[in-house]
Amino acid sequence: MSNLIHLIYCSAAPRPLGREELAALLAGARLHNERHGITGMLLHVDGSFFQVLEGAPDDVERLFARISADPRHDHVTVIIREPVATRAFGEWTMGHAEMTRDDLDGIVGANDFFASGGSLPEIGEGRAKKLLAAFRDGRWRTAPANAVAAAEDATLPPLRYAFAFQPIVHAPTRSIFSHEALIRGPGGENAASILQRSQPVDMHALRERQRIAALEAAARLGLCTRININFQPSDIAHSPTAISSLLDAAGRCGIPPGSIVLEVLESEIIRDSGDFSARMNPYRASGLTFAIDDFGSGYAGLNLLADFQPDLLKIDMNLVRGIERNGPRQAILRGIARTCLDLGIDLIAEGVETVEEYAWFRAEGIELFQGFLLAKPVFDRLSTDFYLP
């Protein structure tokens, strides 16, 4: 049985790199990779790197760790990491070309496509070949940070956002369980307002950048609790890095995956909860935890729990509001609480605004709370202040 993997990634040069510097990078890569039995390819086009690493898993992972820490690579993004039966690149240890987009027209299936005259045996059918085609067509190009900023500056009106953080409090220990990252505009506008202003931008890519930015902001502020970050399942269908890029950012920031809670709206999962569960299980194995947000706002919530059991469930604030005066809602919530208890799911009462609402949930044994009664979202800090009756 083969013990080979392909690790394919893209990255950006944080600054323009001259031909001599690129040649030196390539020469060093060739020497290192030949010693460690790593084959593959390295391309650099218009500030974007695209690389296939092929070899024994431990050797490839060690090399990739070095690449991720190399200041000549920015925004390193894993595209695929998978076992392969045989080498697709023979004994060829590494090659590179600084090409124009026109030069890339024949990149796939060509025996001699490097501008420098280097040759490569034709790549056999497989995922690497398909990803090369995607790179040729302009995808998997990771623009340098200054280019991303320039593109966002060109959006009208300017695309600017920040994060406010709101604590989720564990009542029995009177401690902060987590902080939810809430995207806000420069004037305090909510997330919907920002997204409406950013229609020219790829929404899935924008949300992916925002999740990473939220994590990085929390790390800068000294996060020592969990962090709740909003997530839309449709992003997975449009980007294979929708979650892996967040895990990569967590590694760079020193935040364990077990501290990250991805919040998914009930209405987003309910369309195909079985498929969602299957897609998320590999990420749960990495340590990520999941919460269903606004539970009770849809039409088939209990059906959803039969297919996908989250770690946390946030009760929709419309069910929370005035709960102490509404008998039917009380009966519904007692049933949800019992179901969650049997399934090992922790409940969060979200949007709690009055002492009476808090007291009803607390009397029912609910331990986790979020809302204006306890603490409001704040900018530029992870608040340690909260109120409990």
Tell me what pLDDT residue 375 has.
95
* pLDDT lower than 70: segments of the chain: 1-2, 16-23, 46, 90-126, 129, 132-139, 141-161, 185-202, 268-274, 297-301
**Assigned CATH class of 4-147:** alpha beta
| DSSP for 166-183, written as a single string | EEEEETTTTEEEEEEEEE
Q: H or E element: which one contains 133?
A: helix 127-136
Tell me what pLDDT residue 291 has.
93
Burial category of 293 from C-beta neighbours within 10 Å (exposed 0-12, middle 13-18, buried 19 and up): buried
Query: How far is it, in rounded angstroms, from Cα 151 to Cα 371?
Result: 36
Query: How far is it, in rounded angstroms, from Cα 296 to Cα 276?
Result: 18
- Between CA 299 and CA 341, with CA 343 as vertex, the angle to 5 degrees is 95
What are the pLDDT digits (tens) for 359-382? 999 999 999 999 999 999 998 789
Query: How far is it, in rounded angstroms, from Cα 202 to Cα 194?
Result: 13
Nearest to 358 by CA among 387, 334, 338: 387
CB 6 within 8 A of CB 80: yes
Cis (ω within 30 of 0) for the bond into 200? no
Structure-token match 């390193």, residue found: 76
Tell me what pLDDT residue 356 has.
97
Query: How far is it, in rounded angstroms, from Cα 92 to Cα 40?
Result: 7
Query: How far is it, in rounded angstroms, from Cα 152 to Cα 148?
Result: 6
Tell me what pLDDT residue 76 has.
84
Structure tokens at 172: 């029995």
Domain 155-379, CATH: 3.20.20.450
CATH 3.30.70.100-classified regions of the chain:
4-147
Structure-token match 């420098």, residue found: 116
CB 222 within 8 A of CB 215: no
Structure tokens at 150: 């320039």
Q: Is the pTM for the entire model greater than 0.75?
A: no
The DSSP letter of residue 123 is P
